């Protein structure tokens, strides 16, 4: 079990809940002997490069979590180094909740989900938004994606945790379904042509 994950997620209240329900001793042992898991490994970087979306969590000044989905072309969430991720923040509904939340509390969370392969990775850290840095924005730009970029969001990694696939439903994106259907469509076209030639 990753040590840094436990240090962040297992608050005193969580530890009390674990003690009351009999799991605290097991988790204490795992955390004490576990790896730090506080960097983006090559394996995680490869996983990230294939994502076309993820969930971003921030915390408001009134203590409520705010979760939103961020989507884009695969690779839009970029690994800048083993401790840093970044993505372009496109123009949207101009509510600026993420920007406002990060202004008061930089703690943030990324929930990375691959439904097709039933895999998920959680990343805790701190995030910041950067406006007016054209070089950074260009570094995060998605080729051939026409959306206007308002700012960069940089995520500083503090802990990662991979979860088991239990209870993750298998789902496919439109692009994945189209790729799976392409050979079938080609075969249907071929058979239709053969039938036409018989008439």
Statement to judge: residues 152 and 188 lie in one domain: no
Residue 63 to residue 73: CA distance in whole angstroms: 32
Are 55 and 119 members of one domain?
A: yes
For residues 111 and 147, state if they share a domain. Answer: yes
Q: What percent of the chain has pLDDT over 90?
A: 65
Per-residue pLDDT of the chain (199 residues; tens, 9 = 90+): 578 988 899 999 999 999 999 999 888 887 888 888 999 999 999 999 999 999 999 999 999 999 999 988 888 999 999 999 999 998 878 899 999 999 999 999 999 999 888 899 999 999 999 999 999 999 999 888 888 899 999 999 999 998 777 778 888 888 888 988 999 999 999 999 988 888 7
Domain of residue 53 covers: 38-168
Q: Are residues 135 and 62 in the same domain?
A: yes
Distance CA 5, CA 169 (A): 25
Give exposure, 11-46, as e/b (b: 16+ Cβ within 10 Å): eeeeeeebeeeeebeebeeebeeeeebbbbeeebee
143/129 same-domain check: yes
> Quick one: 67 and 133 in the same domain?
yes
12 and 71 in a single domain? The answer is no
- Output the pLDDT for position 1: 59
pLDDT tens across 52-97, in order? 999 999 999 999 999 999 988 888 999 999 999 999 998 878 899 9
Same domain, 131 and 91: yes
Same domain (yes/no): 91, 152: yes
Tell me the per-residue pLDDT of 92-109, one tens digit each, with 9 for 90 and over. 788 999 999 999 999 999
pLDDT at 185: 92
Q: Could you give the number of structural domains in the chain?
A: 3
Verify that 73 and 60 share a domain, yes or no.
yes
């Amino acid at each position: 079990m990753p040590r840094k994950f436990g240090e962040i997620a297992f608050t005193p209240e969580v530890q009390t809940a674990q003690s009351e329900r009999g799991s605290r001793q097991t988790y204490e042992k795992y955390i004490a002997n576990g790896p730090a898991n506080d960097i983006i490994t090559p394996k995680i970087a490869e996983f990230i490069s294939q994502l076309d979306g993820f969930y971003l969590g921030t915390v408001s000044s009134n203590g409520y979590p705010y979760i939103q989905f961020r989507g884009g072309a695969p690779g839009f969430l970029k690994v800048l180094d083993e401790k840093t991720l970044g993505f372009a923040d496109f123009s949207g509904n101009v509510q600026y909740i993420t920007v406002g939340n990060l202004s008061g509390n930089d703690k943030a969370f990324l929930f990375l989900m691959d439904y097709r392969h039933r895999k998920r990775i959680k990343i805790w850290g701190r995030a910041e938004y950067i406006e007016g840095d054209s070089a950074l924005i260009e570094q995060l730009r998605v080729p051939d994606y026409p959306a206007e970029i308002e700012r960069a969001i940089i995520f500083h990694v503090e802990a990662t945790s991979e979860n088991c696939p239990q209870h993750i439903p298998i789902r496919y994106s439109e692009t994945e379904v189209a790729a799976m259907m392409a050979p079938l469509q080609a075969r249907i076209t071929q058979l239709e042509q053969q039938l036409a030639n018989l008439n």
